[in-house]
Structure 1
Amino acid sequence: MAIVINIDVMLAKRKMSVTELSERVGITMANISNLKTGKAKAIRMTTLDAICKALDCQPGDILEYKSENASQE
Protein backbone atom coordinates (compact mmCIF):
# COMPACT_ATOMS: atom_id res chain seq x y z
CA MET A 1 0.00 0.00 0.00
CA ALA A 2 1.25 3.47 -0.81
CA ILE A 3 -0.06 5.08 2.40
CA VAL A 4 2.11 4.50 5.46
CA ILE A 5 0.83 5.20 8.97
CA ASN A 6 3.56 6.45 11.30
CA ILE A 7 1.78 6.19 14.64
CA ASP A 8 4.76 4.40 16.17
CA VAL A 9 7.03 7.34 15.26
CA MET A 10 4.69 9.84 16.91
CA LEU A 11 4.26 7.61 19.97
CA ALA A 12 8.04 7.54 20.40
CA LYS A 13 8.31 11.32 19.95
CA ARG A 14 5.61 11.90 22.57
CA LYS A 15 6.95 9.15 24.88
CA MET A 16 3.47 7.62 24.94
CA SER A 17 2.53 3.96 25.09
CA VAL A 18 0.03 2.22 22.84
CA THR A 19 -2.06 1.59 25.96
CA GLU A 20 -2.19 5.28 26.82
CA LEU A 21 -3.08 6.24 23.23
CA SER A 22 -5.77 3.58 23.18
CA GLU A 23 -7.32 4.97 26.36
CA ARG A 24 -7.15 8.59 25.17
CA VAL A 25 -8.60 7.84 21.73
CA GLY A 26 -11.18 5.27 22.83
CA ILE A 27 -10.20 2.48 20.43
CA THR A 28 -8.75 -0.92 21.21
CA MET A 29 -5.05 -1.64 21.26
CA ALA A 30 -5.73 -4.23 18.55
CA ASN A 31 -7.09 -1.51 16.25
CA ILE A 32 -4.07 0.71 16.91
CA SER A 33 -1.86 -2.28 16.17
CA ASN A 34 -3.70 -2.80 12.87
CA LEU A 35 -3.05 0.84 11.98
CA LYS A 36 0.63 0.59 12.93
CA THR A 37 1.22 -2.55 10.89
CA GLY A 38 -0.69 -1.37 7.83
CA LYS A 39 -3.37 -4.04 8.13
CA ALA A 40 -6.15 -1.47 8.39
CA LYS A 41 -7.85 -0.64 5.10
CA ALA A 42 -9.51 2.54 6.35
CA ILE A 43 -9.51 5.02 9.21
CA ARG A 44 -12.47 7.09 10.30
CA MET A 45 -11.99 10.81 10.28
CA THR A 46 -13.18 10.96 13.89
CA THR A 47 -10.51 8.41 14.85
CA LEU A 48 -7.82 10.36 12.99
CA ASP A 49 -9.02 13.53 14.73
CA ALA A 50 -8.82 11.84 18.15
CA ILE A 51 -5.34 10.45 17.42
CA CYS A 52 -4.11 13.88 16.34
CA LYS A 53 -5.55 15.47 19.50
CA ALA A 54 -4.00 12.79 21.73
CA LEU A 55 -0.58 13.05 20.06
CA ASP A 56 -0.77 16.84 19.53
CA CYS A 57 0.12 16.51 15.86
CA GLN A 58 -1.16 17.05 12.33
CA PRO A 59 -2.57 14.27 10.10
CA GLY A 60 0.52 14.64 7.90
CA ASP A 61 2.68 13.66 10.87
CA ILE A 62 0.89 10.31 10.93
CA LEU A 63 0.02 9.67 7.28
CA GLU A 64 2.70 9.43 4.61
CA TYR A 65 2.46 8.64 0.91
CA LYS A 66 5.18 6.48 -0.57
CA SER A 67 5.09 5.72 -4.26
CA GLU A 68 4.95 2.00 -4.95
CA ASN A 69 7.32 2.63 -7.87
CA ALA A 70 9.95 4.24 -5.64
CA SER A 71 11.54 0.88 -4.85
CA GLN A 72 11.87 0.10 -8.57
CA GLU A 73 13.70 3.33 -9.46
Structure 2
Amino acid sequence: MTKQLVLHNWRSKIVSFLVAVAIWYLLGNHVRQIIERGIPQRPPVPGTIDTKPERTPEPPPAFPVPVVPTVPVPGS
Protein backbone atom coordinates (compact mmCIF):
# COMPACT_ATOMS: atom_id res chain seq x y z
CA MET A 1 0.00 0.00 0.00
CA THR A 2 2.69 2.51 0.99
CA LYS A 3 4.86 1.48 -1.94
CA GLN A 4 1.97 2.15 -4.33
CA LEU A 5 1.39 5.61 -2.84
CA VAL A 6 5.05 6.52 -3.30
CA LEU A 7 5.53 5.06 -6.77
CA HIS A 8 2.18 6.09 -8.29
CA ASN A 9 2.68 9.32 -10.34
CA TRP A 10 6.21 9.70 -9.00
CA ARG A 11 7.26 12.05 -11.80
CA SER A 12 4.52 14.56 -11.07
CA LYS A 13 5.31 14.33 -7.34
CA ILE A 14 8.98 15.16 -7.99
CA VAL A 15 8.04 18.04 -10.30
CA SER A 16 5.60 19.40 -7.70
CA PHE A 17 8.30 19.18 -5.05
CA LEU A 18 10.82 21.01 -7.26
CA VAL A 19 8.31 23.76 -8.06
CA ALA A 20 7.53 24.18 -4.35
CA VAL A 21 11.25 24.43 -3.51
CA ALA A 22 11.79 26.99 -6.30
CA ILE A 23 8.91 29.17 -5.07
CA TRP A 24 10.16 28.89 -1.48
CA TYR A 25 13.65 29.96 -2.57
CA LEU A 26 12.37 32.91 -4.62
CA LEU A 27 10.17 34.16 -1.78
CA GLY A 28 12.99 33.87 0.74
CA ASN A 29 15.38 35.70 -1.57
CA HIS A 30 12.83 38.48 -2.15
CA VAL A 31 12.18 38.94 1.58
CA ARG A 32 15.93 39.01 2.29
CA GLN A 33 16.44 41.76 -0.32
CA ILE A 34 13.62 43.85 1.17
CA ILE A 35 15.13 43.54 4.66
CA GLU A 36 18.60 44.50 3.43
CA ARG A 37 17.35 47.55 1.49
CA GLY A 38 14.81 48.64 4.05
CA ILE A 39 11.17 49.28 3.39
CA PRO A 40 10.70 52.62 1.59
CA GLN A 41 8.34 55.09 3.19
CA ARG A 42 5.49 55.89 0.83
CA PRO A 43 3.72 59.25 1.00
CA PRO A 44 0.21 59.08 2.47
CA VAL A 45 -2.75 58.82 0.15
CA PRO A 46 -4.37 62.26 -0.33
CA GLY A 47 -7.49 62.70 1.73
CA THR A 48 -6.55 60.14 4.38
CA ILE A 49 -4.62 62.43 6.73
CA ASP A 50 -5.80 65.37 8.78
CA THR A 51 -4.60 68.64 7.23
CA LYS A 52 -5.28 70.78 10.31
CA PRO A 53 -2.18 72.51 11.69
CA GLU A 54 -0.70 71.05 14.83
CA ARG A 55 -1.64 72.69 18.10
CA THR A 56 1.11 74.46 19.93
CA PRO A 57 1.46 73.51 23.58
CA GLU A 58 -0.09 75.92 26.03
CA PRO A 59 2.44 78.04 27.91
CA PRO A 60 2.60 77.62 31.69
CA PRO A 61 0.46 80.08 33.66
CA ALA A 62 2.14 83.39 34.50
CA PHE A 63 0.92 83.25 38.10
CA PRO A 64 1.72 80.50 40.61
CA VAL A 65 -0.89 77.80 41.11
CA PRO A 66 -2.41 78.08 44.60
CA VAL A 67 -1.31 75.37 46.99
CA VAL A 68 -4.18 73.51 48.61
CA PRO A 69 -3.65 73.21 52.36
CA THR A 70 -3.32 69.68 53.64
CA VAL A 71 -4.37 68.15 56.92
CA PRO A 72 -1.47 68.36 59.43
CA VAL A 73 0.16 65.04 60.29
CA PRO A 74 -0.09 64.27 64.02
CA GLY A 75 3.25 64.17 65.80
CA SER A 76 5.15 66.55 63.56
Higher helix share: 1
TM over 0.5: no
Higher relative contact order (CA 8 A, sep 6+): 1
* TM-score, with structure 1 as normaliser: 0.21
